[in-house]
Chain A
Amino acid sequence: DTGVSQDPRHKITKRGQNVTFRCDPISEHNRLYWYRQTLGQGPEFLTYFQNEAQLEKSRLLSDRFSAERPKGSFSTLEIQRTEQGDSAMYLCASSLAGLEQYFGPGTRLTVT
């Protein structure tokens, strides 16, 4: 499968715990995006990377959220001290420069 992959697909955690998600983009894509989608809504932009540089972060991304793309390949999104409001689908997408964005299957986070 040469598409965008995400791991894990589902994560259930207790409030206050830290969680980390991984995204593997399409191999030749230099841009990688993180979005969050809640039920009945469209995806909302969180942050994006061009190669290893994080170029933009949304105001939605509080201090508890951090993202990395250390070698310009895969990316991780960490949420510290999770809250119930963090429950959502976390989607990763990748693109080649300014072209089409292709999404991964998402990681569904449930905070209990």
Chain B
Amino acid sequence: GENVEQHPSTLSVQEGDSAVIKCTYSDSASNYFPWYKQELGKRPQLIIDIRSNVGEKKDQRIAVTLNKTAKHFSLHITETQPEDSAVYFCAASRDTGTASKLTFGTGTRLQVTL
């Protein structure tokens, strides 16, 4: 089955700096890669996603890149703000039309300091 590895496990940046979180996946047939943000005691919240036919996607201060050959994808957050502090999870999925379960990484705790 799919295996997703995520690094780093913790990341501390100063407000205004950029943060990068990296994930690798094992199943070359995976074709959908979402990122979730989870604040303490809250539900995982989808913040951005990318499909395998696209190399990069951007939404305001958040961007995701995908390298299918190397089987890795990354989340980039620019101009970080204190409210970006949370745990971020990457995930991978192979949508076959009848199956699209997500396999998650182990999470990155991002702390944005003033």
Q: Bound pair: A and B?
A: yes
Chain A proximity mask over B44-80: 1 for CB below 8 Å, otherwise 0: 1110010000000000000000000000000000000
Which of chain B's residues have a CB closer than 8 A to the CB of A55? 98-99
Which of chain B's residues have a CB closer than 8 A to the CB of A103? 36, 43-45
Determine the distance from Cα of A45 to Cα of B106 in the docked complex, in whole angstroms: 13
Interface residues of A in 1-50 (CB under 8 A from B): 4, 31, 33, 35, 40-45, 48, 50
Shortest Cβ gap from B11 to chain A (Å): 15
A63 at the interface (CB under 8 A from B): no
B27 at the interface (CB under 8 A from A): no
Interface residues of B in 65-114 (CB under 8 A from A): 89, 91, 95, 97-107
A85 at the interface (CB under 8 A from B): no
Residues of B within 8 A of A (CB): 6, 32, 34, 36, 42-46, 49, 89, 91, 95, 97-107
Determine the distance from Cα of A103 to Cα of B97 in the docked complex, in whole angstroms: 20
Shortest Cβ gap from B108 to chain A (Å): 10
Shortest Cβ gap from A99 to chain B (Å): 9
Classify the secondary structure of B's interface with A.
Answer: loop
Partner of B100 from the list A35, A41, A98 (CB cut-off 8 Å) is A98
Residues of A within 8 A of B (CB): 4, 31, 33, 35, 40-45, 48, 50, 55-56, 58, 91, 95, 97-98, 100-106
| A95 lies within 8 A of B100 (CB) | yes
Determine the distance from Cα of A56 to Cα of B2 in the docked complex, in whole angstroms: 15
| B91 lies within 8 A of A42 (CB) | yes
Instruction: Assess A98 versus B43: contact at CB under 8 Å? Given A40-B107, A55-B98.
Output: no
| A41 lies within 8 A of B44 (CB) | no
